[in-house]
Amino acid sequence: MLFLKSTSETKAPGIYEVDIAAKPPGKTFGVFLATDPDNPPTALLTALAEMGFTNTHSQAYTHRDRGKVLDLHYQKNGTDLFNGWKTEECTANLAAIDALFAGMGIQVTPRVMTLAEAYA
């Protein structure tokens, strides 16, 4: 999900990149993070878990600039069909995500993935 250009800069301690994205039609968003495995954003990960998000993917790799990266994907089930979010849940969850990241000085912009991204 994330295209990480470099590991030389972080958006916040332990966080290289953040993406808040949903598969079409775009009501159930996931949190996608590129993190520093040697300096994990523990407070952020704990806060996501307290909000009901669960880790669904974790993959470590070495970036082309030789920095270590841990890709993490988080999802939260909703009460709509196929565990999706209802409109009210979407509004509340996106507000909570925005507040969480704003508290760390990170501005997030939720987006809907293209079909190619979503089903690659």
User: Kind of pairing, strands 29-35 and 68-75?
Assistant: antiparallel
Structural domains in the chain plus CATH codes:
15-115 (3.30.70)
Sign of CA dihedral 40, 97, 49, 34: negative
How far is the C-alpha of 36 from the C-alpha of 69, rounded, in Å?
5
Fill in the DSSP letter of residue 120.
-
pTM: 0.92
pLDDT of residue 8: 86
> Is 119's pLDDT higher than 90?
no
Q: How far apart are CA 43 and CA 78, in angstroms?
A: 24
Query: pLDDT digits over 41-98, tens only?
Result: 999 999 999 999 999 999 999 998 889 999 999 999 999 999 999 999 999 999 999 9
**Can you give the length of the chain in residues?**
120
pLDDT band, residue 2 (cuts 50/70/90): low
Q: With H, G, I as helix, E, B as strand and everything else as coil, classify residue 60.
A: strand
Residues 61 and 69: their CA atoms lie apart, in Å, by 5
The phi, psi pair for 42, rounded to 5°, reads: -55, -45
